[in-house]
Structures are given as structure tokens and as C-alpha cells.
């Protein structure tokens, strides 16, 4: 196991007792609860501006210290929302003052996730990486090993685990309301018939673009979180829009080790949307339509903790899902969406060494499915993991 780098303080996501003295002969060294953890945010495109920046700034115990972007317009946007924030043009400026920071959040394009996360960990800084963590499961596992060797936290931003519909379904499953589940159907569909351009729609593998890595990373993570590892993967993928290079429409079927079958649809060209979830079990089924409201709220400028805490993430009754059978169906109140819980868990992990909310191994499991789905679609075969 590698030594803690020079200049790196032992509070960076390391269990307090280990950080103080691995032999355990001295009392644990802890960081005062009143001292905020200083965060550098690398990238200020949509992910940084609409998700990470506001969620970091709204988390007790975290302070958005630095935003890394060389774009003047994005700097002005960040300065307007976070007065007093510092700026860096390149990530290397962050590594050079690693002793002034406690966490790096990577919200830059997908192709940069592995090199930036590697550089941050090598500099002695814990990391949160937006999904996908990497292009391959092997890369994700290697990052996890590096973080373990450096005794640093590495977390992956899979915010859809805190969607209202997902939290509600998870609660129903934990209470056994559906009985033995045999089929999980999940959709994330959009209507974007015209190409927007940019790296997300590029057919260059180095860009790590396409819907499998975008929407698929969410759907697959949710399925694995709910029903455990996948045993087999079958997929159909296509680039349907004129001029499209990357996948913009896909179907992925998983058979989980426990027997549940997950059918996952993702599309940029869905002219009519299906239900977000349809989950069928031995006692009944659960169906819910629409999307969690938090992304729309963040894009509209609403912020958690902005004076309407009681309503953050709430879903109106008209949009609640239903539970039951053809003979008897009832509306199920939706649990509020809770994206702030991700960074609250990150803050706790950095303070006391608890496990991060989403690990590199979690990401590797999803990436193994994405790789198998690409192979299945290409070869027309079911892939066994």
C-alpha cells in the first residue's frame, strides 16, 4: 500500500483512526465539524453548472472553493452564482495546491474522467467523478485500486439513485409490496430528432459518447442496485438520426443472478414515451410515468436549501405511480427526490471514513454490462458475464 503523499493531510477520506496512527496507539485525529471541506470543481458545462456546483454549495460541511474552466462566459456564470469562488484555467493548477483542498469533483467531458481522476488521486486528493467513471470496467477497477492504495475516497456521481421514482420503488421492494419480482422495465426516453453535435454524439470511441454511456449508465446502475449482478446481457442498439455516429436508440435486457429480468429502453428519438418504470411481481405491479423533477428545478435556477426545503424533490399527486392488479389499484405517494443526499454522504465519508455512496466497483459492474451490451448488439448474441 502506498504511503500518503507528502503534503496530503490524513483527513482526505481516510478513516480517522487510521489517519491519526495506523498502529492505533493514539486517539483518532478528526477534523473539526465547523471547518468546511474545500472543493475544486473541474468543468463547468451543464453537469458542473446545473448539478455539481449547486449541490456542493448547498451541502453543509462543503465549500465550493475553486472552479476549473478556461471559458470566460462560464467563469462569469459561476462567479454570479458563487461569489468569492476562485478560478483555475487548467486542472494542473489544482494539483499544484493540493494541500489547500480536500476534494476534487470531475465534471469534464467523459474522455477526461480517467486521466483527471488518476492525476487527482496521485496528487493526494479524494475524488468524485461524474458518470461514467471510465470507458471500460477494467479502467474503473484500476482507478479503484489506485484510490485504495493511496487511501483516498473515490466516489461516482450516480444521482439517479436519488430520483423520486427510484426511491419510491426501492421502498416498495423493501416492504415486499410487490411480492417476488420477475420483471423490471425501465425507460429513459427523449424526443430530439435533430442532432445537437458535440462529443456526446461522436462516434469516436475515445469520446466515450452515445446513449449507453449517457442514459444507459443510469438505467443499468439502477437495475443492478435494485436486483443485483447480471448473469446475461442482450442488446439492440442503433444510430437512427441522419448523420448520427453514436448510438441514439437502445434496448438492453438483463437476466440477474437472482432471476429477475430487467428490460431497459433508452432513446433520443422516442416520439411517444412509455412508463418510466413498470415492475411486475407475484403480488402486484407498480407503474409510474414522467421524470423526477429535480433536474428541471436545478436547470430553472431552483436550489436545495433555497427557502423551499420542504418542497424540494416533491412530486405532485397527479404524477404519483400506481400499485396493484387489474382488480384493485391505488396511488402510491412518491417519496421526494433527494440529490443533496449524495454530497451529504460524500461529506460524511470524508469526515469519518465511511464508504462512499457509489463506489468504483459499482461503476465497474455497470461498465461491464455496457461493454457486454455493445458486444451483444454488434454480434447479435447474448453475452454471459
Q: Which three cell numbers stand for residue 308?
A: 423551499
Domain boundary among 126, 142, 157: 157
Q: Which three cell numbers stand for residue 161?
A: 439513485
> Which residues make beta-bridge pairs with 129?
106, 156
Pairing of strands 249-256, 230-238: antiparallel
Whole-number Å distance between alpha carbons of 24 and 287: 52
Per-residue pLDDT at 23 = 38
Q: Are residues 114 and 62 in the same domain?
A: yes
Q: Are residues 116 and 34 in the same domain?
A: yes
Whole-number Å distance between alpha carbons of 292 and 159: 11
Given a cut of 60, whether residue 31 has pLDDT beyond it is no
Q: Are residues 151 and 243 in the same domain?
A: no
Q: Are residues 75 and 143 in the same domain?
A: yes
Q: Which residues contact 343 (CB under 8 A, 6 or more apart)?
A: 55, 56, 58, 59, 62
DSSP 325: E
Q: Is residue 284 within 8 Å of 325, Cβ to Cβ?
A: yes
CB-count burial class (<10 Å; 0-12, 13-18, 19+) for 206: exposed
Q: Categorize the per-residue pLDDT at 7 as very low, low, confident or very high, splitting at 50, 70 and 90.
A: very low
Average pLDDT over residues 132-160: 98
Q: Categorize the per-residue pLDDT at 357 as very low, low, confident or very high, splitting at 50, 70 and 90.
A: very high
> Which residues make beta-bridge pairs with 321?
332
Q: Are residues 150 and 212 in the same domain?
A: no
Within-domain flag for 350: no
Per-residue pLDDT at 310 = 63
The CATH number of the domain holding residue 199 is 3.30.360.10
Backbone φ, ψ for residue 280 (5° rounding) = -115, 130
Q: Are residues 153 and 165 in the same domain?
A: no
Q: Are residues 139 and 185 in the same domain?
A: no
Q: Are residues 203 and 141 in the same domain?
A: no
Given a cut of 80, whether residue 346 has pLDDT beyond it is yes
Q: Which of 185, 169, 177 is nearest to 275 (CA)?
A: 185
Structural domain harbouring 52: 16-157
> Which residues make beta-bridge pairs with 365?
none
Task: State whether residue 263 is helix, strand or coil.
Answer: strand
Per-residue pLDDT at 34 = 62
> Could you tell me the pTM of the whole model?
0.89
Per-residue pLDDT at 306 = 67
Per-residue pLDDT at 200 = 80
Q: Categorize the per-residue pLDDT at 363 as very low, low, confident or very high, splitting at 50, 70 and 90.
A: very high
Within-domain flag for 11: no
Q: Categorize the per-residue pLDDT at 20 as very low, low, confident or very high, splitting at 50, 70 and 90.
A: very low
Within-domain flag for 3: no
Domain boundary among 137, 157, 177: 157
Q: Categorize the per-residue pLDDT at 28 as very low, low, confident or very high, splitting at 50, 70 and 90.
A: very low
Within-domain flag for 27: yes
Within-domain flag for 179: yes
The distance from CA 289 to its chain's CA centroid, rounded to whole angstroms, is 21
Whole-number Å distance between alpha carbons of 292 and 163: 6
Q: Are residues 168 and 291 in the same domain?
A: yes
Q: Which three cell numbers stand for residue 135?
A: 470507458
Average pLDDT over residues 304-321: 84
| Mean pLDDT of the chain, nearest integer | 90
- 236-245 pLDDT, tens digit per residue, is 999 999 988 8
Q: Are residues 333 and 272 in the same domain?
A: yes
Domain boundary among 128, 157, 186: 157
Strand ranges in 131-276 using DSSP code E only, listed in sequence order: 154-157, 181-189, 230-238, 249-256, 261-267
Per-residue pLDDT at 103 = 98
Q: Are residues 322 and 215 in the same domain?
A: yes
Average pLDDT over residues 85-99: 96
The structural domain count of the chain equals: 2
Residue whose grid cell is 500500500: 1
Average pLDDT over residues 341-366: 97
Within-domain flag for 197: yes
Q: Are residues 167 and 153 in the same domain?
A: no
Within-domain flag for 164: yes
The CATH number of the domain holding residue 101 is 3.40.50.720
Amino acid at each position: 500500500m502506498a504511503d500518503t503523499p507528502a503534503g496530503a493531510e490524513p483527513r482526505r477520506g481516510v478513516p480517522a483512526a487510521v489517519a491519526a496512527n495506523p498502529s492505533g496507539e493514539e486517539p483518532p485525529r478528526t477534523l473539526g465539524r465547523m471547518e468546511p471541506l474545500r472543493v475544486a470543481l473541474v468543468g463547468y458545462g451543464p453537469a458542473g453548472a446545473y448539478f455539481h456546483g449547486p449541490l456542493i454549495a448547498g451541502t453543509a460541511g462543503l465549500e465550493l472553493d475553486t472552479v476549473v474552466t478556461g471559458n470566460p462566459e462560464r467563469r462569469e456564470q459561476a462567479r454570479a452564482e458563487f461569489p468569492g469562488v476562485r478560478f483555475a484555467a487548467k486542472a494542473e493548477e489544482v494539483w499544484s495546491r493540493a494541500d489547500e483542498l480536500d476534494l476534487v469533483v470531475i465534471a469534464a467531458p467523459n474522455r477526461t474522467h480517467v486521466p483527471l481522476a488518476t492525476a487527482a488521486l496521485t496528487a493526494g486528493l479524494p475524488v468524485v467523478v461524474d458518470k461514467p467513471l471510465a470507458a471500460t470496467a477494467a479502467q474503473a477497477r484500476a482507478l479503484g485500486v489506485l484510490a485504495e492504495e493511496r487511501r483516498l475516497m473515490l466516489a461516482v456521481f450516480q444521482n439517479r439513485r436519488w430520483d423520486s421514482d427510484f426511491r419510491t420503488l426501492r421502498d416498495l421492494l423493501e416492504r415486499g409490496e410487490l411480492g417476488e419480482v420477475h420483471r423490471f422495465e425501465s425507460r429513459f426516453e427523449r424526443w430530439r430528432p435533430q442532432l445537437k453535435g458535440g462529443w456526446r454524439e461522436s462516434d469516436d470511441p475515445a469520446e466515450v459518447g452515445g446513449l449507453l454511456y449517457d442514459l444507459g449508465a443510469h438505467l443499468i446502475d439502477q437495475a443492478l442496485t435494485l436486483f443485483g449482478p447480471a448473469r446475461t446481457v442482450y442488446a439492440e442498439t442503433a444510430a437512427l438520426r441522419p448523420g448520427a455516429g453514436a448510438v441514439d436508440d437502445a434496448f438492453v435486457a438483463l437476466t440477474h443472478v437472482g432471476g429477475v429480468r430487467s428490460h431497459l429502453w433508452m432513446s433520443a428519438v422516442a416520439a411517444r414515451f412509455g412508463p418510466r418504470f413498470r415492475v411486475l411481481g407475484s403480488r402486484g405491479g407498480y407503474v409510474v410515468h414522467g421524470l423526477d423533477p429535480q433536474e428541471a428545478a436545478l436547470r430553472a435556477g431552483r436550489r436545495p436549501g433555497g427557502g423551499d426545503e420542504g418542497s424540494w424533490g416533491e412530486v405532485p399527486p397527479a404524477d404519483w405511480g400506481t400499485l396493484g392488479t387489474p382488480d384493485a389499484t391505488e396511488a402510491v405517494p412518491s417519496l421526494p427526490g433527494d440529490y443533496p443526499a449524495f454530497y451529504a454522504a460524500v461529506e460524511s465519508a470524508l469526515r469519518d471514513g465511511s464508504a462512499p455512496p457509489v463506489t468504483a466497483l459499482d461503476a465497474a459492474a455497470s461498465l461491464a454490462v455496457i461493454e457486454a451490451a455493445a458486444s451483444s448488439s454488434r454480434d447479435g448474441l447474448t453475452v454471459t458475464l
